[in-house]
């Protein structure tokens, strides 16, 4: 399987939790709306449609430099229903 290059939208910055943050805090995100909206308008191919609304689906990953957000372009393969998969 070919590895795709990750796409990082502009306007999102992720941070690891502060050292004194409670354990339920996973991190923090800063959203610069003008940058994110402009990026979405320039990259409509990364938007999906759900019940008539445009969405940007992201993967959240953690690394040495903190939290990052990349476009989740996973597309499930269509599986034909087999006889055993049918409910009736």
| Beta-carbon count within 10 A of 69 CB | 19
pLDDT in tens, 50-78: 999 999 999 999 887 788 999 998 877 77
- Residue 83 is assigned to a structural domain of this protein: no
Q: Which of 21, 15, 25, 31 is nearest to 63 (CA)?
A: 15
Structural Rg of the chain based on CA atoms: 18
- Residue 58 is assigned to a structural domain of this protein: yes
Specify the number of domains making up the chain.
1
Q: Would you place residue 80 in the very low, low, confident or very high pLDDT band (cuts 50, 70, 90)?
A: low
Q: Which of 53, 38, 33, 45 is nearest to 7 (CA)?
A: 45
Q: What is the residue range of 55's domain?
A: 12-73
- Residue 82 is assigned to a structural domain of this protein: no
Distances from the Cα of 76 to the Cα of 17, 35, 79, angstroms: 32, 30, 9
pLDDT in tens, 8-58: 999 999 999 999 999 999 999 999 999 999 999 999 999 999 999 999 999
- Residue 85 is assigned to a structural domain of this protein: no
> Which residue has better confidence, 40 or 80?
40
Look up residue 66 and give its DSSP letter: E
Look at residue 86 and tell me whether its pLDDT is greater than 70. Answer: no
- Here the tokens at position 54 are 């445009």
Look at residue 82 and tell me whether its pLDDT is greater than 90. Answer: no
């Amino acid at each position: 399987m070919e590895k795709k290059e990750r796409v990082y939208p502009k306007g999102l910055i992720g941070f690891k939790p502060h050292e004194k943050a409670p354990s339920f805090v996973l991190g923090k995100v800063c959203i610069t709306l003008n940058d994110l909206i402009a990026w979405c308008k320039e990259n409509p191919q990364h938007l999906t449609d759900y019940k008539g609304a445009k969405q940007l689906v992201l993967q959240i990953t953690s690394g040495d430099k903190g939290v990052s957000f990349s476009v989740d372009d996973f597309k499930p393969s269509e599986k034909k229903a087999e006889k055993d998969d049918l409910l009736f």
